[in-house]
Amino acid sequence: MNQERTWKDVVIAALHHYGGEASLKDITEFALQDPKAKANTKVKEKVRQVVRAYSVFETLEERSGIYRLAPETATADLAQKAATKRVTNEIQGKLLYIGRVNNYETFAPAEDRAKRQFAGEKLERLVTVRDLNSHRWLTEDKIKAIERIDVLWLRETDDGLIPRFAFEVENSTKVIAGLDRLNTIPSLFQTRLIVVGKDDSQKRRYENFLNGRTFKLHSSRFEFRYFEDIRKLFETSADFDKARAAHESAMRAFGLFD
């Protein structure tokens, strides 16, 4: 899946250039030489946003201004041990996994990342974005509301991280809370808004709420998917992830992998 070079890519390249770790000053000097800097007059601020937003960057010591690359999660390992007892944790983890495999940046609420587990690991391992503060024109209230959504798949733009898909996992709840959280987005982004539920009774509840005055204006933006849909997509994504890993290994062995 070919994508335009992002600021995340620029910072990663800078850290590789400096041998694995560098100061914000050095990263910024490297970034200023990148073609992306020609269209951005605030490169220093952008670099600072990026190292704080993405979990792939970690600081050696708080307030030191020195950053390095954190070890990345091997998604294939998680797929091999994916049994998870709690249904909400299972579906939330599988959605994060699917997003990662399809090269989206992924986000889940901070409390969920710390407390919930998938395949024996905290959800933190599958989340690539710490917060959404890199989006320069979102108000604090809007950021807080969007950061409560169960799962986001995002793309980086010059304005910041844009949610392309937003998911609310509804297992024992009454759907309305998830719809309210998703309904924060339509006036801001062209995001696909998806409620994931366990059965037809939840789908009927979802449809009844969607026809009400609160959601009717943006009802065409919402979708409903079953847990089983996510489980099937997870299996397909795991097969794709495994095949891709095997292909990359073969390319490296042949000396043709960049």
Give domain status of residue 84, yes or no. Answer: yes
Based on the domain organization, do 202 and 149 belong to the same domain?
A: yes
Residue 242: partners with Cβ closer than 8 Å, 6 or more residues away = 76, 79
DSSP element (H, E) containing 168: strand 160-170
Based on the domain organization, do 177 and 108 belong to the same domain?
A: yes
Give domain status of residue 39, yes or no. Answer: yes
Residue 102: partners with Cβ closer than 8 Å, 6 or more residues away = 1, 153, 237
Give domain status of residue 244, yes or no. Answer: no
pLDDT at position 160: 82
Based on the domain organization, do 55 and 80 belong to the same domain?
A: no
The shares of helix, strand and coil residues in the chain, as percent rounded to the nearest 5, are: 50, 20, 35
Give domain status of residue 253, yes or no. Answer: no
Kindly give the parts of the chain with pLDDT less than 70.
Answer: 1-3, 73-84, 134-137, 173, 257-258
pLDDT at position 83: 62
Question: Which of 53, 69, 85 finishes a domain?
Answer: 69
Give domain status of residue 241, yes or no. Answer: no
The pLDDT tens digits of the residues spanning 34-47 come to: 988 887 778 999 89
Give domain status of residue 49, yes or no. Answer: yes
User: Nearest 5°: CA angle at 48, between 42 and 51?
Assistant: 135
- For residue 163, list its beta bridge partners: 154
Residue 119: partners with Cβ closer than 8 Å, 6 or more residues away = 78, 79, 81, 82, 83, 84, 93
- Cα gap 108→167, rounded to integer Å: 10
Cα-to-chain-centroid distance, residue 176: 23
Residue with tokens 């560098």: 22
pLDDT at position 40: 79
Residue 34: partners with Cβ closer than 8 Å, 6 or more residues away = 10, 13
Based on the domain organization, do 89 and 212 belong to the same domain?
A: yes
Based on the domain organization, do 15 and 104 belong to the same domain?
A: no
Based on the domain organization, do 107 and 195 belong to the same domain?
A: yes
Q: 68: helix, coil or strand?
A: strand
pLDDT at position 1: 42
Based on the domain organization, do 102 and 228 belong to the same domain?
A: yes
Domain count, the chain: 2
Based on the domain organization, do 220 and 196 belong to the same domain?
A: yes
Based on the domain organization, do 96 and 197 belong to the same domain?
A: yes
- CATH number for the domain spanning 50: value is 1.10.10.10
Structural domain including 64 reads 7-69
Give domain status of residue 182, yes or no. Answer: yes
Give domain status of residue 243, yes or no. Answer: no
Based on the domain organization, do 84 and 30 belong to the same domain?
A: no
Based on the domain organization, do 81 and 46 belong to the same domain?
A: no
- For residue 192, list its beta bridge partners: 165
Question: Which of 19, 43, 69 finishes a domain?
Answer: 69
Based on the domain organization, do 138 and 166 belong to the same domain?
A: yes
